[in-house]
Amino acid sequence: MASAAKSPGPPSATRAAIGRAVAEKLEADPRIIRVPLDAAQVYYCLDFLTDDECRVLIEVIDAGRRPSTLLSQSADPGFRTSESCDMDRYSPIIRPIDERVADLLGIAPEHGETMQGQRYAPGQQFRAHHDYFHQREPYWAAMQGQGGQRTWTAMAYLNEVEEGGATWFPLAGIRIPPRKRMLLIWNNMKPDGAPNDATLHEGMAVVAGTKYIFTKWFREDRWLKAAD
Ligand SMILES: O=C(O)CCC(=O)C(=O)O
Ligand SMILES: [Fe+2]
């Protein structure tokens, strides 16, 4: 999270193996399309969710939303201005969707963090950041104890946004406009398992309408929720 550090972290055989296994699973799936990019492994699945699922997930987000937070405080108060909602993975609404995401990637559900809903009103955004943890940051020791590095991200768009709200990868050079029901998937690591700086991405400001998504981050090991 937070700003790009010079070296985001060393290679890792474990993460490299996860990267290969997930890419192989996705590439064998006829529902998945790879975005033609060299800098990062990015995929999407157009109709991953049904309209009903999108509607119910939006209701869950609206009922549980609170201001979004950051792991390291940014000097810019406008860095992440959305609202978030931690989704109860054991609820009968969330669990099947949560497990379907893990199954699509071929990652054991225990490696996934709780799905997090995000809501952006006009003007709200999540400035350019990495989903992986910067290993030089003070939070890294705690993250290592909670399942280690984030490997893959899966993010679903739950509604059409009137204007704005694209997910922009400025270094990889793609901008993805929100598209209802679509799941976007990317590997935050390089093929050698080191964090990939080119996965820097931004949830661009919504101009008109409201944007609802959920984000699911996978860890290299089993995720252990921090004690509250
Ligand atoms: O809103 C977006 O398009 C990006 C969200 C995001 O990067 C995240 O939740 O980590
Ligand atoms: Fe992100």
pLDDT at 4: 46
Q: Which pLDDT score, from 0 to 100, does residue 76 have?
A: 84
Whole-number Å distance between alpha carbons of 136 and 68: 23
CA 153 to chain centre: 4
**pLDDT for position 228:** 56
204 alpha carbon, closest ligand: 1
pLDDT, one tens digit per residue, over 180-213 is: 999 999 999 999 999 999 999 999 999 999 999 9
pLDDT per position as a tens digit, 69-106? 888 777 788 889 999 999 999 999 999 999 999 999 99
Residue partners of 59: CB distance under 8 A and separation at least 6: none
Q: What is the pLDDT of residue 3?
A: 47
DSSP 137-172: STTHHHHHTTT-SEEEEEEEE-S--SEE--EEETTT
Nearest to 163, CA basis, from 210, 117, 127? 210
Which one of 150, 215, 216, 218 would you pick to mutate in the ligand 1 pocket, going by the greatest count of ligand atoms within 8 A of its CB? 215
Could you tell me what percent of the chain has a pLDDT over 70? 96
Residue type, 116: Q
For ligand 1, residues with CB inside 6 Å are 118, 126, 131, 167, 201, 203, 213, 215
pLDDT at position 78: 87
Rounded distance, CA 185 to CA 45, Å? 8
DSSP readout, 56-92? Answer: HHHHHHHHH-EE---SS--S-TTSB--EEEE--TTST
Show the CA angle centred on residue 86, arms to residues 182 and 71, nearest 5°.
100
The greatest distance separating any two alpha carbons of the chain, rounded to the nearest whole angstrom, comes to 44
Q: What is the pLDDT of residue 5?
A: 45
Note the ipTM here: 0.99
Going from the N-terminus, what domains does the chain have, and what CATH number goes with each?
13-219 (2.60.120.620)
126-185 residue pLDDT tens: 999 999 999 888 899 999 999 999 999 999 999 999 999 999 999 999 999 999 999 999
- 31-76: pLDDT as tens digits: 999 999 999 999 999 999 999 999 999 999 999 999 998 887 777 8
Pick the atom of ligand 1 nearest to 201's CA.
Answer: 7
Mean pLDDT value across the chain: 94
Q: Of all atoms in ligand 1, which is nearest to the CA of residue 131?
A: 10
Q: How confident is the model at residue 7 (pLDDT cuts 50, 70, 90)?
A: confident
74, 79, 201, 207: residue to mutate for ligand 1 pocket, most atoms within 8 A of CB: 201
Q: Please tell me the predicted confidence (pLDDT) of residue 225.
A: 82
Please tell me the residue having the least CA distance from ligand 1 atom 4. 203
Nearest atom in ligand 1 to the alpha carbon of residue 168 is 3
